[in-house]
């Protein structure tokens, strides 16, 4: 019975990200969440943490930056390297979704 309840919770979290009008996708949320743990990190470090190709993380960061959720800065010493940080809006969205997920999981 516990397994069924657990699966229901997983489905509810999944549905949260599939709902119409959702501001971020699940992979975007995970990236924002990692950024709360490592402020002003490098895209390369985020890709290593998430075990995702640097190119994929870079593309996702571009989308998040265009929506004002993160800021991206070029390393002055190495123009190929990018640093990313949550904006106040990005931090707010991450907190909102984390709270929704915690509510589902703890229900």
Taking the C-alpha atoms of residue 103 and residue 14, their distance in angstroms, rounded to an integer, is 14
Query: Quick one: DSSP state of residue 53?
Result: -
- Cα separation of the two ends of the chain: 15
More confident residue, 36 or 105: 36
Which residues share a beta bridge with 41? 84
pTM: 0.82
Grade residue 1 by pLDDT with cuts at 50, 70 and 90: low
Radius of gyration of the chain measured on its C-alpha atoms: 15
pLDDT tens-digit map of 44-89: 998 888 788 989 999 999 999 999 999 999 988 888 889 999 999 9
More confident residue, 3 or 99: 99
């Amino acid at each position: 019975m516990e397994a069924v309840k657990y699966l229901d919770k997983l489905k509810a979290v999944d549905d949260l990200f599939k709902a119409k009008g959702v501001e971020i996708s699940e992979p975007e949320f995970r990236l924002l969440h990692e950024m709360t743990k490592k402020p002003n990190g490098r895209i390369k470090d985020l890709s290593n943490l998430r075990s995702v190709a640097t190119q994929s993380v870079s593309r996702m960061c571009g989308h998040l930056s265009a929506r004002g959720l993160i800021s991206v800065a070029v390393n002055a010493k190495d123009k190929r390297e990018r640093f990313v940080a949550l904006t106040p809006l990005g931090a707010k969205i991450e907190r909102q979704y984390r709270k929704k997920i915690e509510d589902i999981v703890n229900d």
